[in-house]
Amino acid sequence: MALSFPALMLINGIFFHVVPVIVTRGRFSPGLFTAIVLLLPIGLTCYRVASDAGKLDLVSLVSSLLIGAGLMATPIVLLRIKDRPYFRQA
Using pLDDT thresholds of 50, 70 and 90, give the confidence band for residue 27. confident
Q: For position 84, what pLDDT does the model report? A: 87
**How many domains does one find in the chain?**
1
pLDDT tens digits, 31-61: 899 999 999 999 999 999 999 999 999 999 9
pLDDT at 58: 96
Residue 26 scores a pLDDT above 90: no
pLDDT at 82: 87
Domain residues for 37? Answer: 4-87
How far, in Å, are 35, 42, 48, 80, 82 from residue 75 at the CA level? 19, 22, 28, 9, 10
Q: Quote the radius of gyration of the chain (alpha carbons, Å).
A: 16
What global pTM score does this model have? 0.82
